[in-house]
Structure 1
Amino acid sequence: MDNFFYLHGYFIELEKNGKKPGTIKQYRSDLQQFISWLDTTINQDLLDVDAVAIMSYVAYLKERSYRDTTIKRHLSLVHRFLAFYHVPVDSSSEQENIYRAPPLQSSDFISNNEMDQLLQSMQRPIQSIARDILIPRNLAIVHLMRYQGLRPKEITSITMRMINLAQSTIEFNWNGERINYTLANTHMTYIRDYIATIAPLKRPKWKSEEPLFVSFNNRSNDYQYDYAKVQPKQLSVRSIQEMIKDEVWRADLRKLSAKHLRNSCILDHIQRGESETDILSYFHLTHPFSLYRYKQYKELVDSHTE
């Protein structure tokens, strides 16, 4: 396959549009590398390039230890090159979105001081029967988001069969891959204390498919039961989101969400130097591009501490 002839027409157009010689030289070097890879590695015509090919090319650049900023430059140029020849590569694909998304900032994470302030506030009773009953449940949920990186939807999906109180673990099955999350003693105490607040008749049964986290009725001050399913009613994602919003407000913090807690957990794993494969598996992420902005932020933080 020989795709180099496509370069000629593109650079003629760039010259007509007044691109500086230095810029064209850089473009030529980057695109020649892309074309060479296209010809020799996947042997594919430029007009047949799709999102899968682009992801493979970025993976190739990562294998060559290119910095993320350099990969972003290559990706942007290749995208413009393909657009010139009307190649319909899906611009909404995962790697495009991640590399085009704005860089993460400190405001996208919850700081240690903010987390301490939030937990201290959550542990204080406020003379509200409903909220005070739910103190251990809410603490357990926040710990799962901040220290295990679980999303609200994943938290609501936890069943009694998935949790092992003796070993302090929760096991998820992600598309056939089993991942165990080990919980700290304090976290397990919150879960045990929360379960104890549920009346025996409405309490989820051990080693069953019944939900760990049960919906609560603030008017009756009682946990809810799903009589149609003959089991405790599953806590909703919306309820978790509203709980976080209320507790953050009560702690007098800036607007924070489950995303801030998960972001901080992902960053912790990257800063500990864990392998990319382990991090992707642990957080149920589908592609290495998902970690791009976190690594970019870590590089920024490291550069300021040198």
Structure 2
Amino acid sequence: MMRIRRSMLITPAHRPDRMAGAMKLAVDSFVFDLEDGVPPVRRDEARANLAKLMPTLDFGGRERVVRINAVGTADCVRDLDAVPLTHCDALLVPKVESAEQLRWLDTELTRRDAPVRLIATLETPRGVLNALSIADASPRLCAFFFGSGDYTMETGAEITPTALLWARSTIVAAAGAAACDAIDAPYLHGLRDPQGTHEDALRALELGFSGKVVFHPAQVDAVNGAFTPTEAQTARARRIVDAFEAVKASGEGTAIVDGEFVAIDLVPRMQRLLDIAAYAQGRTS
């Protein structure tokens, strides 16, 4: 199943009120958190909430994700025992720094007969530097998530577009090599600043990210809007796809659209835009 991940909301699992309330928001992926968003003394409570509430919620076909604790910790094993894996689409894995971590998790999920995907968080310099080997570690990998907070804490960089450009570009390249999504870090300079959020999301889109994490309801529309094709972009994508359908029988590799030569390798990207536009329309109609 193709997933559209324009927006990904992280909600702490020790707050069942917020878990239920999140269903009202127009996000594409819901992440229930057992890691940093939960005080260590409340993690057992969060696991119990998750096991009880997650199977009862109506996600409307949208992605169901749980952020577990880091591989190699006792909390990670407790998390896997608690997560209702038959009601979960993916696990968000924090602090991934090596391919071995994902391979261990892949083996563990196979042992549990769980058809669950993996979203790997790259949030340390070592993790970003190992992005390509991590991308190749498991066929369960469906996305990367960039954690800018820990990354800048370890490097001493600022959380600015210039300082984050290399890390973001590296993660997008690794995601492209593995044919999976890249999800950008949340905009942290004002959670109630939709304009700043939208501009930051547009920068991420330009680099090749397919979505962004949101921490506050006020960020959702700004992020969804940035990662949804405009009417003009959708119309052009349709013209390109239709043009190649028309020349397919001739075996040609180029077509003329709007007076310009367009190569056939652009078609998958244009079809993806059409899929996102159709998905967004279905969510708002």
Give the alignment's TM-score, normalised by structure 2.
0.28
The structure with higher relative contact order (CA 8 Å, sep 6+) is: 1
Higher strand share: 2
Higher helix share: 1
